[in-house]
Amino acid sequence: MKRAVFFLICWVLLFSMTTSLYGSEVKPAQSFYSSPSYEVENLEAVMHEAGLFYVSGVIRNTDAYPTTGYVVIYFTNDSDEVIASDETIVNHKRAIDPGNTGRFELTKKIEKYNQINKTYIEYVVQKKIITPKKPLISIGAKR
């Protein structure tokens, strides 16, 4: 009986030493969705005539890998309700290397142009180009 109590006490002490002061450790939740890996630069949204908008800008890739994608442009009112939206390609569908930029532009006629107050840009990554690293030493390779 004394052995059982001794092992129980040791087990409780061992368990309590592996937890934090106020119970078991809690790690922060990890997001399954990556954060945006781009920046919008030099955004220009101009209305040339009644309802004809010209939007242009540059997307900077801040990811570690080259990406390809397109831009979604949202035209919103004072209440941030979307009045119109459209998509356009970035960098002529070529990959944007890490740290580099790709240009986009769009011309669009919008009927409810007098309600538009803001323009938002979203870069949608279509493909991340991940190339495997080459081995430093090839064992058993033919020369």
Per residue of the chain (143 residues), what is the pLDDT tens digit? Answer: 666 656 556 555 555 554 444 444 444 444 444 556 899 999 999 998 888 999 999 999 998 889 999 999 999 999 999 999 999 999 999 999 999 999 999 999 999 889 999 999 999 988 888 776 665 566 665 55
Instruction: Work out whether the CA dihedral 9, 10, 13, 18 comes out positive or negative.
Output: negative
CA-to-CA dists, residue 84 to 69, 78, 114, 115, 123, angstroms: 20, 13, 12, 10, 17
Tokens of 110: 């919008």
103-119 residues labelled b (16+ CB within 10 A) or e (exposed): ebebebebeebeebeee
The confidence score (pLDDT) of residue 136 equals 59
Residues 77/130, Cβ–Cβ less than 8 Å: no
Q: Where are the domains of the chain?
A: 38-128
* Architecture of the CATH domain 38-128: Sandwich (2.60)
φ, ψ of residue 135 to 5 degrees: the values are -70, 145
Identity of the amino acid at 10: C
For 48-86, the pLDDT digits (tens) are 888 899 999 999 999 888 999 999 999 999 999 999 999
